[in-house]
Chain A
């Protein structure tokens, strides 16, 4: 089975901290994605990457950056965490349009 692993299930950080959310997939997928999930808003795309060192902004990139130095790892960075970034963060990977995405279990981030 394809596995997408997010390093933390729950995370509490202070306002202004730099936060790293890590995501690793084990099936050599080219494409990786970061979404945030909020009640009533569904999942919104923050950033995605279709190759190593390649990244593209999604619909809500403000306040976030990403890094993809290796194919299997895609990191989401909150440069200076703010309370409005309290959310559930979901990482996903895909190998093609026919298969949809494989998701990680999510990281619930609370910024206090």
Chain B
């Protein structure tokens, strides 16, 4: 079974700093997708970034980028120039195809606080 591990329950940085959230996963599959989701205090889960495992190039979305190391099964999220609005729970997730649906497996989450 696939598992996703986020080893940092909480992190805190100052505004404008760069922060990296770590994520490791375990799978025997060769083709899969990885995601980072953000859950602010409003509770609405928001997709931050997506990475296809067959792509070697790391995904980027504005201030958000990933460091995808397929052999190491590592998928970290880097937030540059952090802003107060980045304060949220962040979940790493692995997607696999099963029974006609795409099932997301989530990590435990990292609570990120951006301080003014």
Specify which of A43, A45, A49 is in contact with B91 (CB 8 Å cutoff): A43
Docked complex Cα distance between A8 and B45 (Å): 16
Q: A50-B101, A97-B102 are contacts. A103–B44 as well, Cβ < 8 Å?
A: yes
Shortest distance from the beta carbon of B88 to any chain A beta carbon, whole Å: 13
Question: Is B116's beta carbon under 8 Å from chain A?
Answer: no
Docked complex Cα distance between A31 and B101 (Å): 6
Q: How would you classify the secondary structure of chain B's contact residues: helix, strand, loop or mixed?
A: strand
Question: Is A51's beta carbon under 8 Å from chain B?
Answer: yes
Docked complex Cα distance between A110 and B115 (Å): 31
Shortest distance from the beta carbon of B108 to any chain A beta carbon, whole Å: 4
Specify which of A94, A96, A101, A105 is in contact with B43 (CB 8 Å cutoff): A105
Docked complex Cα distance between A105 and B45 (Å): 7
Question: Is A34's beta carbon under 8 Å from chain B?
Answer: no
User: Which chain B residue has the least Cβ–Cβ distance from A45?
Assistant: B103
Contact yes or no, B9 A40, CB < 8 A: yes
Mask for B20-48, Cβ within 8 A of A = 1, else 0? 00000000000001010100001111010
Which of chain A's residues have a CB closer than 8 A to the CB of B70? Answer: none
Partner-binding segment picked from B11-19, B57-65, B71-79, B92-100: B92-100
Shortest distance from the beta carbon of B64 to any chain A beta carbon, whole Å: 14
Given A33-B101, A43-B104, A88-B43, 5 other A-B residues pairs in contact with their CB atoms under 8 A: A42-B108, A44-B106, A49-B101, A50-B99, A103-B44
